[in-house]
Amino acid sequence: MSTTSTLSRRKKMMAWTGLVMLMAIFLLPMTGYISTGFVTAAEEQVREQQTNPRSDYWRLVRNNTEGYSAVTGLEANELIQGSGQVWRQLRNGPIATYGSWLIGFTLAVLAVFYMWHGNIKMTHPRTGQTIERWTLNERRMHWLTAGLFVILGITGLSLFYGRLVLIPIFGHNGFSAYAEIAKWTHNILGPAFMVALLSMIVTWFKSNLLNKVDMEWFKAFGGMIGDKHPSAEKLNGGEKMWYWALATMGVALCLTGLVLDFPNFDQEREIIQVSHLIHVVTALILIAFAFGHIYIGTIGTEGALEGMVTGHVDTAWAEQHHDLWAKSVIKKESDSH
C-alpha cells in the first residue's frame, strides 16, 4: 500500500518538474523584455524607420537620387544610375538575339513558301477591263511611306547590328563614316515618316475595320493553304492585319522615335532607355511584317503590284482576290451607265 502511494507521489513530482522545466524553457528567454518592456505596434513602426544613416546615404548615391551640384547639366546632380546596365543587357542580349532570329526566320519561311507555291498565278485570263483600286494620292502616300520605311529600316538596322556585321566588312573607319550619315538620315527622315504614316492611317481607317468576312478569311489562311480562295472586300484580312500592326506598333515606334530624336527637351536617361527598347522591338517586328507584305505584293502574287503602281487592276484579278469589292465596284459602274 505504502509502496504504491510513494510511487504515485513520485510520478506526480516528475510531472510537475517536467511542467516547470517546460515553462522555464519558454519563459526564461523572455526575461529580456524586463529591461526593454513590451513594445507597442506604434513603437515598433518608429523603430523600423530608423535605419542606419550611413547605409541610407549610400542608398541615395546608388539610386539615382538628385543631390546638388555646382556643375549644371542634365542629371549632373546624380551619382549612380543603375538602369543603364539593364538597358545595355536587354539591348545587347535578348533583343539583339531574338531580333535576328525573327528576321532570319521570316525570310526563311518566305523562301520556303516561294519554293513550294511559287508565284501565285491568276486563275482566269485577263479580261482587259480594269477598275481603279488606288487613287493617285493614295499611291503617292503609299510609296512615300514605303520608301522612308526602307531607308529608316536599313539605317536603323545598321546602327543596331552594324558593329557585329558591317565593321568586319568595312573596317572601323569605313563603317563610322557610313554610320554618321546613317544617324543623320535616320534622325531627319524619322519625323517625315511619322507624318506619312499618320496620313495613311487616317485615310485607310474605314476600309480596315475588321468584320465577319475577315474572320472567314483568317480561317481559310487567306487561301494560302488549300485551293479555295476566301472572300475579301477591298482589303483582305492579311492587309488589315498589316494596317493594324502599323496603326499600333508603328505609332509606338514613331512616338518613341521622337523621344530619342530631340534631346533638347531634356528628357532623362530612364525615359530614353525605355523608349529606345520599345523603338527597337517594334521596329524589328514591323520589319519582319514588311518582308511578308513586300513578298506578297511583288513576287508572291501575279498582278498585285500593278494596283499600287498604275492604280488600276484587271477585273479578273479583282474577282479572284477581292471578290466582294470587285462586285460592288462593277455594280456601281454599271448602275451609273
Cβ-based nearer residue to other proteins, 36 or 264:
264
Cβ-based nearer residue to other proteins, 65 or 211:
65
Residue selected from 141, 152, 179, 197 as contacting other proteins according to rule CB under 8 A: 179
CA–CA dist 189, 299 (Å, integer): 28
Four-CA torsion 197, 200, 205, 206, nearest 10 degrees = 180
49 binds other proteins (CB under 8 A): no
At 125, is the secondary structure helix, strand, or coil? coil
185 binds other proteins (CB under 8 A): no
Cβ-based nearer residue to other proteins, 60 or 220:
60
Residue selected from 16, 57, 114, 221 as contacting other proteins according to rule CB under 8 A: 57
Are residues 318 and 133 in contact, defined by beta-carbon separation less than 8 angstroms?
Answer: yes
The closest alpha carbon to 302, from 319, 283, 317, 322, belongs to 317
Question: What is the DSSP annotation of 143-174?
Answer: HHHHHHHHHHHHHHHHHHHHHHHTHHHHHHHH
27 binds other proteins (CB under 8 A): no
Sign of CA pseudo-dihedral 303, 305, 306, 312: positive
The 8-class DSSP code of residue 128 comes to S
271 binds other proteins (CB under 8 A): no
CA–CA dist 243, 282 (Å, integer): 14
Residue selected from 8, 17, 45, 69 as contacting other proteins according to rule CB under 8 A: 69
Supply the minimum distance, in Å, between the C-beta of residue 15 and other proteins: 55
Burial of 187 from C-beta contacts in 10 A (0-12 / 13-18 / 19+): middle
Largest CA distance in the chain: 132
User: CB under 8 A: which stretch of 52-60, 112-120, 147-155, 315-323 binds other proteins?
Assistant: 52-60
Residue selected from 26, 27, 42, 172 as contacting other proteins according to rule CB under 8 A: 172
Residue selected from 134, 160, 243, 325 as contacting other proteins according to rule CB under 8 A: 160
CA–CA dist 276, 258 (Å, integer): 10
Cβ-based nearer residue to other proteins, 182 or 313:
182
Supply the minimum distance, in Å, between the C-beta of residue 317 and other proteins: 44
Instruction: List contacts with other proteins (CB under 8 A).
Output: 53-54, 57-58, 60-62, 65, 67-71, 73, 75-82, 84-85, 87-88, 91-92, 159-160, 162-163, 167, 172-173, 175-176, 179-180, 183, 187, 261-265, 269, 272-273, 276
